[in-house]
Amino acid sequence: MAVVVAVGMVSPPGLSLATVVRRKLFTPAERGCGKVAWLLGAAGVSEGADPLALADPLRVIPASMAGGAVTGVLTMTFGATMAVPRGGVFAADQLGEPLLFAATIAVGALTTAALTIVLKSLRRTAPAKSTTGVATTSTREKPLAVG
């Protein structure tokens, strides 16, 4: 259960961190969602990352998956345990190895934030301009009259 809880807590704080570190990559609405996602992630509500993921799924979802994978591997490696299936920090009394559990979440959140920033920083280049020097003609079609 520790892996389930830890992985559910990774994406919201990771994306929140990304909105703080590289503000220019996010819209004002996304930055506002990032402010709320900290609290939702701490409570174990992974849906705090949904607005950011829906805004840019091709960049945010892979970054969140990588952060969750890192957290899952570290949680299992360190042997953290959890007696309940949800709760986040509110179920801290049910944790075995709480410091290692917190460390795995921090590493996963940093991974998510770093990959989100890298993927959002990638820009498409503008299409290359024609260098042949040949003029192209465009044909205009007459608009159809209705009625």
Residue 146 pLDDT exceeds 50: yes
CA–CA distance, 118 with 123 (Å, rounded to integer): 10
What is the rounded (10 degree) CA torsion for 57, 35, 25, 48? -10
Instruction: With H, G, I as helix, E, B as strand and everything else as coil, classify residue 106.
Output: helix
pLDDT of residue 48: 87
Instruction: With H, G, I as helix, E, B as strand and everything else as coil, classify residue 126.
Output: coil
Q: Is the dihedral of CA 94, 105, 86, 31 positive or negative?
A: positive
| 104-145 confidence digits (pLDDT tens) | 999 999 999 999 999 999 865 444 454 455 455 555 666 556
Residues 36-63 have a mean pLDDT of 90
Q: Is the dihedral of CA 63, 68, 71, 72 positive or negative?
A: negative
Residue 15 pLDDT exceeds 70: yes
Enter the pTM of the model: 0.78
pLDDT of residue 127: 43
